[in-house]
A = this chain, B = another copy of it.
Amino acid sequence: MAQDRLNERIFQALNGLDIELPSWGFADTGTRFGKFYQDAAAIDIYDKIADASTVHALTGSASKMAVHVLWDFSTEHPPSEVAQAARDAGIHIGSINPNLFQDADYKLGSFGHPDETVQEKALDHCLASIAIAKTCESRVISLWFADGTNYPGQDSVRRRKRAFEKNLAQCYAALAPDQTLLIEYKPFEPAFYHTDVADWGMALHLATQAGPQAKVLVDTGHHYSSQNIEQIVAWLLDEGRLGGFHFNDRRYADDDLTLGSIDPYQVFRIFHEIHAYGADHGCPAKLDYMVDQSHNLKPKIPAMIQTVTWAQELFAKACLVDLESLRRHQAAGRIIEAEQCLQRAFMTDVSSSLIAWRESKGLPTDPLRSFRESGLLEERAKERRARRQALGMQQNSAYA
């Protein structure tokens, strides 16, 4: 393909790409074996806004930040104030995420808990989150349930299913007409025998029961080993029930590594399904792209920049699949030729197009290098370290 035709396609694709960053991706996280603290990690919601804003300013594709109701809002930092702070920093509040797993009451579940008073507490928190979304002018409420059991017999799967249907109906009734309720699925962790919303089929059932504004959220790390994610994406697209993504990568379980770090070809294939759907329908699919990763070892802001730029690169490659040839080869059963339509697009070097697009937007051509050279990491590390000390918080000690 000629370079200008290539650029044209890629520019159009990139102009349509916006990836929401999670506020919690800028804060210290860990595994159950411990956390390694980073000086530059965000302490509060304003730090997170500053960091997300930096990533957007450097990459041009991350204009929104997802927030976590329990961790990001408080009486001192009410939603309206946080939303304004985000706007002041040049970004917007994205999806609103209730927390239905951390409180001691949720030990045996939230929407599925055996005790209806706990179910009501969980429901109230969701209703409050929907209200917060309205305040923040956020279109999306994103529900992840840790609900499940650890042992055979611990609880009744059918009773829990019914409780979910009932409580989701109540949430749904509170939505504004332009709001979307995303239902996420996950096969296991923290529940290890059964998880109430374990796979896309369960999430789709619950979304369908709830109503047309309820959609399924695909977290790329929440699948059984070797499950075909792009097929699930294609089915949900075809049913009009794909709400969006939590992007990350994994090798084993829900490892929450950075997007495309383990299997970039899989991310490419997911993007290809989305581009192909858009081409068939004459306009891009309306989806919410979000990052949900745990940067335990990588420094937070650089990990986010790497994620967004790698997503841009794979998204750009995916838009280069020659869909017309592909359909022709598929119809004729020419397997190798059809496959090569994907392989050649994947192996196309798009770096000069990416540079050209960045220049056209006034963005740095190498966002990660620009960030490194800016001195911002050191600056924030220093300031936050001091602030942590003043607050008496746990710190990074050595190495790191």
Q: Which residues of A contact B (CB under 8 A)?
A: 29-34, 36-37, 101-105, 107-108, 114-115, 118, 146, 150-159, 161-162, 187-190, 192-195, 198-202, 204-205, 224-228, 230-231, 234-235, 237-239, 250-253, 255, 257-258, 261-266, 269, 273, 276-277, 280, 296-299, 302-303, 306, 310, 313, 321, 326-327, 330-333, 335-336, 338-343, 346-349, 351, 368, 396-400
Contact A187/B227 with A36-B107, A201-B200, A297-B107 known, Cβ cut-off 8 Å? yes
Contact A158/B238 with A255-B192, A339-B151 known, Cβ cut-off 8 Å? yes
**A336 neighbours in B (Cβ, 8 Å):** 298-299, 302-303, 306, 368
Selected from B159, B201, B257, B398, the residue in CB contact (under 8 A) with A150 is: B257
Docked CA distance A339–B255 (Å):
17
**A156 neighbours in B (Cβ, 8 Å):** 276, 327, 330
CB of A246 to closest CB in B, whole Å: 15
**A150 neighbours in B (Cβ, 8 Å):** 255, 257, 296-298, 335
Selected from B237, B331, B340, B398, the residue in CB contact (under 8 A) with A158 is: B237
For A101, A150, A224, A310, the residue with the greatest tally of chain B CB atoms inside 10 Å of its CB is A150
**A32 neighbours in B (Cβ, 8 Å):** 29-32, 190
Q: Is the CB of B327 within 8 A of A154?
A: no
**A250 neighbours in B (Cβ, 8 Å):** 192
Q: Is the CB of A251 within 8 A of B36?
A: no
**A31 neighbours in B (Cβ, 8 Å):** 32, 189-190
